[in-house]
Structure 1
């Protein structure tokens, strides 16, 4: 399968020490149970997710239809690796579709509930203002 383009926008919360330089990965999960591989979110120039900022990633993955969830995780072990993830938006430009996944929680061994992996359920699957 050739795959289709996905644009993944990851927003770090505006909290003290919200950013991280840990390696993050995402998996897209479709409504019919199809899913992508665990895809690394590679930060090119910058080495970290910055507090209050949105990072944009371009993926090429199989077409799994409308999205139901995303799984997002990082490999950080220390308190400095704690990441406060605000939300994730996934756009499918060729389909004119966008999916919004709120998080508003820490991915951290040391903060919140101690988990560095979360499954985020879709909240809004038709952001109608989206244009490619």
Structure 2
């Protein structure tokens, strides 16, 4: 390397024509672990340490928020057992409740239902999991319904509520309810698409809905 070598160019003093290259390697600063954690060193790097601590705190807060939102998603979209399920009931249906998109379609009243099939019915059951306090407008809520035995092919659904909600939360516009036999995968649809409200529609808060056939689902 010649004396004219600079940071931008390298002067090579050679007498052959083979390939060559040049590079500058900057050695990293050494760390003295005997002094790196001393108070003087900490105070001298206080802005750096403060920035790291703030970033770490923000990271922890984001983790807490994300965990909270995950739990909210599970409560909103997950299939939660009905509150009145019994441990002795070992036959299961997934129940998906679709509420309409109309204004004030949701309800804070307490719905109940009887699901009937060719072989048995559920008796009076309450549509609550003990966690969700109301059914929101446009919501899709999933529940797990347990019964003692298979109800057979489902035939009709009787559903009502107690009109106990306050103000605009009394009535309910029920779009449809879907039942899926967990054991067989067979699905049954009950299309209501009506108000269950004293102040809306025909003023009725109880409906008897037959199971929908293929033609009903196509028209719907």
TM-score > 0.5, shorter chain as reference:
yes
Alpha-carbon distance in 1 for matches of 2:213, 2:183: 18
Higher helix share: 2
Name segments (4+ residues, structure 1) moved above 3 Å. none
Aligned-residue RMSD, C-alpha: 1.8
The number of aligned residues is: 124
Higher strand share: 1
Aligned to 1:42: 128
1:34-90 CA deviation, whole Å, 9 max, x = no partner? 311111111443311111111111111131101011111100156621100000000
Alpha-carbon distance in 2 for matches of 1:50, 1:112: 19
Higher relative contact order (CA 8 A, sep 6+): 1
Which structure 2 residue ranges, 5 or more long, are not aligned? 1-87, 215-220
Superposition deviation, residue 101 in structure 1: 0.7
Structure-to-structure mapping, 1:52-67, within 5 angstroms: 52-61=138-147, 62-67=149-154
Which structure 1 residue ranges, 5 or more long, are not aligned? 126-132
Alpha-carbon distance in 2 for matches of 1:20, 1:65: 31
Q: Which has the larger radius of gyration?
A: 2
The alignment partner of 2:150 has SS state of: coil
Q: Is the 8 A contact 1:79 1:111 kept in 2?
A: no
